[in-house]
Amino acid sequence: MAFTLPKETYTGKVYPVTIGSGDKAVTFGGENVLPFHSFEGTTPNRPLIAYEIMDVPPTEWPEKVKEPYAAVSDNPVKWAKYCEEVLKAKAIALRLYGTHPDNGNKSADEAVSVVRDVLAAINVPLIIIGSNHAEKDTDVLVKVSEAAKGHTCVIGKAQEANYKTVAASAMANGHMLIAMSELDINLSKQLNIMITQLGFTKEKVIIDPMCSALGYGLEYTYTVMERIRLAALTQNDTTMQQPMLGDVGMYVWKIKEVTASEETLPEWGALTQRGIAWEAQTAASLMLSGAELLIMRHPEAVKAVEAFIDELM
């Protein structure tokens, strides 16, 4: 008797999002099945991994993730070109960390200068992320959005405290928008609805439900992201059908497991391999829960996840 593979049927579909322009444009999302369930439907685009860079030297990053960028991280343009030319990055995520009032308080005009320089230096798509200070981001993201007009970037992160201004600027300048809520499917849905009520096209929104690192609430993050994806596919909820972001690096590279020395905890193994594995495992887990866009830091972790995607695709 022949075995027939059981299959689920889905009524919804994730919106595809294309960022960048020309032959370097990249599309992610677009599937009508759960992650990598290509035997049940179509998964036209592979998840996209963006390398994270910053507008200031990453002094707060652990040494093991700073090492690969030691020769270039003093300058965001050099850093971006290194990621594109040497690491073969498919996208760059520029975090304007230095604009935060507690981390240098750089002005919006200074951020504009960095964004323009980076855009002029690279050909791959650019994701532009503020410092996560809602008030400062309101000013900064509006100005950098204007400066990046014509490049079809991703602007973020819009949150409840500033979404009206940030979304309006992204919409006026032809960009995609990251909508961030705090690990709650209802808050995520509410923010998506409020953004689209402003006139922002729902197909240009990327959901950031926030995330956590392996061992620090990953199960809860996974559940929230999985519920968002199930609502999109099984309930055909059009307010939940946007691709999702996993902002992996910033959550992983600050925890004890990737910073504790081998002298202090020799039983945990080599620190470099430990950190790479932690970032790769976190990224893979978020991807399996539904994330189509990942922001990562260590090149070896990216390499491991890309190989994992190759196998699953």
pLDDT digits (tens, 9 = 90+) for 37-92: 999 999 999 999 999 999 999 999 999 999 999 999 999 999 999 999 999 999 99
With a cut of 70, list the residues of the chain below it in pLDDT: none
Please tell me the pTM assigned to this model. 0.95
pLDDT at 22: 85
pLDDT at 26: 97
| Strands 17-19 vs 26-28: parallel, antiparallel or unpaired | antiparallel
Its CATH architecture, for the domain 17-312, is: Alpha-Beta Barrel (3.20)
The closest alpha carbon to 106, from 94, 92, 119, belongs to 94
Question: Measuring CA to CA, how many Å separate 69 from each of 65, 72, 263, 268, 276?
Answer: 8, 5, 25, 25, 15
Give the integer Cα–Cα distance in Å for 273 and 265. Answer: 14
pLDDT at 245: 98
pLDDT at 87: 98
Give the integer Cα–Cα distance in Å for 85 and 80. Answer: 9
pLDDT at 32: 96
The closest alpha carbon to 91, from 53, 115, 126, belongs to 126
Phi, psi dihedrals of residue 167, rounded to the nearest 5°: -65, -40
